[in-house]
A and B are shown apart, each in its own frame.
Chain A
């Protein structure tokens, strides 16, 4: 497909760009080394300056969805990594189920009031998988309506959850992530934690069927306890145009301090891929779509129960 070729070209260009950047940094570091002894800090400063130069002069690539690989690698992921490693102590299982290249549709449960699980899943896919792949998330239109948030989402590789975008990403061989519960999942009360919500219309299933992409069910344990949702101030939500206005044990009582997530212990399990090849005909068959969506949902729910038994104490090390 020519799309694939374009994407590959872009990726190649990006790789070349990154290489050039590394070379520049190395050269500058080399200059610095002439007088001083080999010093890691020289290299770091030179690399940072080279990065700044690339950013300041617009010398980087952005793909057609707005994904800025350089920014994601050098800013977004490093910002999230301390949360991933130290704060939530994330453990992953079954990362080998992700393909080294080519497309896959990752379907995960969604929880935790604000979508921290999306960010952690991106770090998990990039850092734990040997091919260091990027996860391209599909986001609700609310995300793309908000100034600021919409740009962070696009630059980190997300795009609007709609079939044309999902299929375009899959056809160009990307790893696509989706949370079919949507706001029903993130905004559910703490009492209903780890109870999977309804899976919408199953649009993700038809996208996978139409492109013959394997579906990988992913279960995330830990996000529910980060911001236990006790209540929802509906008038305020309506005023802000948000899906809900959360009340947690700390928010809004402690103000900005209440926005610090509780340090729960996280487990992420990537399940066995569900093959959909050769089923393109059933993409428009509602029965087939619902059945497959149900199968994915059941798999995630059962895995959640199993993971919860592995982690009896949400605050364990």
Chain B
């Protein structure tokens, strides 16, 4: 172990020098000219059997600076995603298995993009407990392996704005430095906090590895997240009575862009990634042309439970909190450091609706109804005047 550590120190001396000069000049460095030079040649991406992971891996393959992209997942990618993964060296590895450490060492991996952190609970393979295992234990093992990887210079972690929780006592806008007032309830948020805790420990132990934590708002896009799509395509969309949370989304394509830049450039630190601006839930549902069904809060818990057991929808408690109190983050730091601004929440949502389709109250129909009413008034008046 000690031998390995000293070996890694020797081998990454170049990167270390880079780090030192970089950290002193971190504030001043707004352009990424220094970071461009340090693009890793071998990148490992976890979670490639999911769409986000597959898209990031494909994006890295297309980058000429990256020579090899290794994709890792427990499951095999679907045939649709497999097409995306052309050029990616696929390995079916369980992150909780020491095999990952061998892979990192043998292949000389220089950057790891850890995307196998998931909100989705897979009820076929053990439910919430299994998801937590994969999220938390998987990250822990992966970081342990990273610590021993001699060539590693960069670590990118997919986190979530769920880390801030959601409550009525919170400030309206979270910056990266906002501490959550209370531990968020709900599994995923706690997973994310645990994962970020491990990353803090990793940063202390391996200061020569550039670690980037990206806190993503919920993903949305033309093809994205079937869960949100299912929610917004319900015949009547349940909301919490008397609550209209402020929501933010990030377009999947922009998330891929940010993940790509974080992997090939140098952006140490933690960043919120979200589309600028806000949609309230009722506004989003109206934009989708749907009808809301306000339910009292205890009632919604029951509905969520029922939907969960019937497999129609799956909601966790932190999502319920989100749908009561909403969550908005500040993205100034991301825009300044990455020189890239994700499209606005409204634009991302519009793109999503284009894919999902409008409900019964689409804008065209409303406009037609408006015209019909105005025409009706005119006709009534014309006849009234004709009678006179």
Contacts and interface: CB of A to CB of B under 8 A. Distances in A.
Q: Are A and B physically bound partners?
A: yes
Interface of A: 2-3, 6, 10, 28, 31-32, 35-36, 42, 45-46, 49-50, 52-53, 55-66, 68, 141, 144-151, 154-155, 159-160, 162, 164-165, 168
Contact of A64 (B173, B241, B242, B367): B173
A179 to B, nearest CB: 18
A46 B246 contact: no
Given A58-B279, A65-B172, A154-B244, 18 more contacts: A2-B336, A10-B277, A42-B377, A49-B370, A49-B374, A50-B370, A56-B361, A62-B283, A63-B278, A64-B172, A64-B278, A66-B244, A144-B168, A145-B168, A164-B171, A165-B171, A165-B172, A168-B171
Most buried by B among A3, A58, A147, A165: A58
Report, nearest first, the 8 A-B pairs whose CB atoms are least far apart.
A147-B242, A58-B286, A58-B287, A148-B242, A164-B171, A144-B168, A58-B283, A57-B363
B213 to A, nearest CB: 21
A147 B335 CA distance: 34
A32 B382 CA distance: 11
Interface in B312-368: 326, 328, 330, 332, 335-336, 361-363, 366-367
A221 B286 CA distance: 42
Report whether over half of chain A's contact residues are helix, strand or loop; otherwise say mixed: helix
Given A10-B277, A66-B278, A53 B286 contact: no
Contacts of B169: 141, 144, 160
B278 A53 contact: no
B171 to A, nearest CB: 4
Contacts of A168: 171-173
A147 B240 contact: yes
Contacts of A36: 378, 381, 385
B243 to A, nearest CB: 6
A147 B173 contact: no
Interface residues of B, number: 46
A147 B241 contact: yes
Judged by DSSP, the binding face of B is mixed
A150 B243 contact: yes
A57 B361 contact: yes
6 contacts: A55-B286, A56-B286, A66-B172, A66-B244, A155-B244, A164-B173
B69 interface: no
Contacts of B173: 64-65, 164-165, 168
B150 interface: no
Contacts of A28: 370, 374
B373 interface: yes
A144 B242 CA distance: 11
A148 B244 CA distance: 9
B297 interface: yes
A59 B363 contact: yes
Contact of A35 (B276, B370, B382): B382
Contacts of B285: 58
B320 to A, nearest CB: 14
B287 A57 contact: yes
B172 A53 contact: no
A13 B287 CA distance: 17
A154 B243 CA distance: 10
A278 B378 CA distance: 62
B137 to A, nearest CB: 35
